[in-house]
Structure 1
Amino acid sequence: MKQFKKKIPRIYLKKKIEINQKISIKNEKKHYIKSVMRMKKNDIINIFNNTNYVFKSIIIKIKKKIIIKIIKKKIINNESNLKINLGQSISRNSSMSWIIQKSSELGVHSITPIICKKSFLKYNLKKKIKKWKKISISASEQCERNLITQIKKPIKLKKWIKSLKSDKNIFFTPKKIKYNSKFLLKKFNKINILIGSEKGLSKKEIKLCLKNNFLHMNLGKRILRTETACITAISIIQYKYGDLNIFNKI
């Protein structure tokens, strides 16, 4: 019976890395290597640092300190050809955490927490931003992305719209609408997606989006939770224009 190759663990380090460099692993990553993965001296571990390089390394010391040595590097690009920037109206903590994790796995380039009229703002955003960045890093470690989804500072909807450089912008609501077929037929490599919170966007916010040439779309007959709507929208866009077009390759 054919045996599967053992998966090499991956960790993210926020630093410049060179061949033959020796690096001391600390804190949570030390716990992960020693206690979670139960790795030993001479075991191999892959390092990435928000470039498309993967650095093969070997554990040379694993006692009170964990020291690894970089032995090889290789470019591995697992990024989508479509740059998706997600504007997510701030939702409840569990929803936001889930959205950030799954959006990162689906290849979203950046996520901006949007402050809307119906956003959920009953927690400390500074603390949550730190947590959301950790979730994004963990998602990249797990799904073998070598770039980290950027988690940007929270911003009001009007300011976010003004900051957008791409003219390909979509927002989703449960209402039935007429599609702009010209927009959908054109190929593009960058798009901005806006998703409302649990309570959706206000009428004023919808008018603001339409005034700024956002395409207005829905996701079918059923009312979706904000996290479901977000992941569904990203998956559809990635399938149509990104790197999830699996049926076109069969």
Structure 2
Amino acid sequence: MRIPRIYTSQALSSGNELQLEERAAHYLGQVLRMKVGRELRLFNGDGCDYRATVTAAGRRELRCEILETEPTLDRESPLRIELGVGLSKGDRFDWVVQKATELGVARIVPLYSERVDVKLDAQREDKKWQHWQQVMISACEQSGRSQLVDLLAPQPLDQWLSDCKADCKLVLSPHHADAHNSSAPGSIALLVGPEGGLSEQEVTASLDKGFAPLRLGPRILRTETAPLAAISILQSRWGDMS
């Protein structure tokens, strides 16, 4: 029987009993129908997994006891990838957050750029961020990661370009020849445009900030496909997918 793996924001240590948050309690109690005595795994982003058992299960709450800290397989990539990606409509950005998390990125930064066709006021922006945070957490639960991705609030492209620090900085551009260094970096910043891509002025601005162009073959990829293809290539070349 599969043992569920659940995120909680609470401190975890052997011997402690705790009540899980509403989302986790609903999923375990109402969806999986877990009863007293069932085993589960908990993590809170500290890099460890914790073996636990259900001690009380009701319609609206579920309590469990932490049995022990488990030795966990290190699933964090030795290559730190920061993904700056233009916001997109519908569930496309959800897809990017989910799959980039599964592929091992360390940070995701949603970006407002010239061709972004998503308008968010402060309240909607916060609600979107909370939604993406939950998408990321679910991807960590599924993929076995014990550390959360650093998911930033949306910000203007020019701000990110100025603040971004990495050993290697790459911008996806189908109209430029590859010009990146072939030596192995410890960290990479990867810039991907929204639907419609980055404008020529934005590509030039990124080059002026030390980014090098990266081209993914002769085909034009969608905004939700391009970052995942690039991340896979980078992880295969310098990360932990070799």
Cα displacement string for residues 46-105 of structure 1 (whole angstroms, at most 9, x for unaligned residues): 000001110100111113542100001024221111111000111113110100000001
User: Identity, % of aligned pairs?
Assistant: 31
Stretch moving more, 63-72 or 92-101: 63-72
Aligned match of 1:58: 53
Aligned match of 2:173: 173
Amino acid at match of 1:107: G
Q: Give the Å deviation of 1:178.
A: 4.2
Q: Give the Å deviation of 1:120.
A: 2.3
- Aligned residues of 1:87 and 1:192 also touching (Cα < 8 A): yes
Cα displacement string for residues 155-182 of structure 1 (whole angstroms, at most 9, x for unaligned residues): 11111111122241001022141434xx
**1:216 and 2:213 correspond:** yes
1:97-116 matched pairs, under 5 angstroms: 97-116=94-113
Q: Give the Å deviation of 1:122.
A: 3.0
- Aligned residues of 1:52 and 1:75 also touching (Cα < 8 A): no
Aligned match of 2:186: 189
Q: Give the Å deviation of 1:34.
A: 1.1
**1:74 and 2:79 correspond:** no
Amino acid at match of 1:69: E
Q: CA RMSD in A?
A: 1.3
- Aligned residues of 2:8 and 2:21 also touching (Cα < 8 A): no
Once residues 28 and 178 of structure 2 are traced to their aligned partners in structure 1, the CA distance between those partners, rounded to angstroms, is: 53
Structure 2 gap ranges (5+) = none
Where does structure 1 differ by over 4 angstroms across 4 or more consecutive aligned residues?
A: none
Task: Give the structure-2-normalised TM-score.
Answer: 0.94
Matched pairs, number: 237
Match among 88, 109, 114 for residue 117 of structure 1: 114
- Aligned residues of 1:112 and 1:152 also touching (Cα < 8 A): yes
Cα displacement string for residues 179-217 of structure 1 (whole angstroms, at most 9, x for unaligned residues): 34xx12x11211100000011001111111111121101
Q: Secondary structure at the match of 1:238?
A: helix
Aligned match of 2:238: 241
Q: Give the Å deviation of 1:37.
A: 1.3
Match among 9, 14, 39 for residue 9 of structure 2: 14
Match among 29, 32, 45 for residue 34 of structure 1: 29
Once residues 150 and 167 of structure 1 are traced to their aligned partners in structure 2, the CA distance between those partners, rounded to angstroms, is: 18
Aligned match of 1:3: none
Distance 1:16 1:26, change over 3 A: closer
Q: Secondary structure at the match of 2:228?
A: helix
Stretch moving more, 148-157 or 79-88: 148-157
Aligned match of 1:154: 154
Q: Secondary structure at the match of 1:226?
A: coil
**1:48 and 2:43 correspond:** yes
**1:89 and 2:86 correspond:** yes
Once residues 93 and 86 of structure 1 are traced to their aligned partners in structure 2, the CA distance between those partners, rounded to angstroms, is: 19
Structure 1 gap ranges (5+) = 1-5, 246-250
Q: Give the Å deviation of 1:240.
A: 0.4
Once residues 51 and 243 of structure 1 are traced to their aligned partners in structure 2, the CA distance between those partners, rounded to angstroms, is: 21
- Aligned residues of 1:50 and 1:148 also touching (Cα < 8 A): yes
- Aligned residues of 2:8 and 2:20 also touching (Cα < 8 A): no
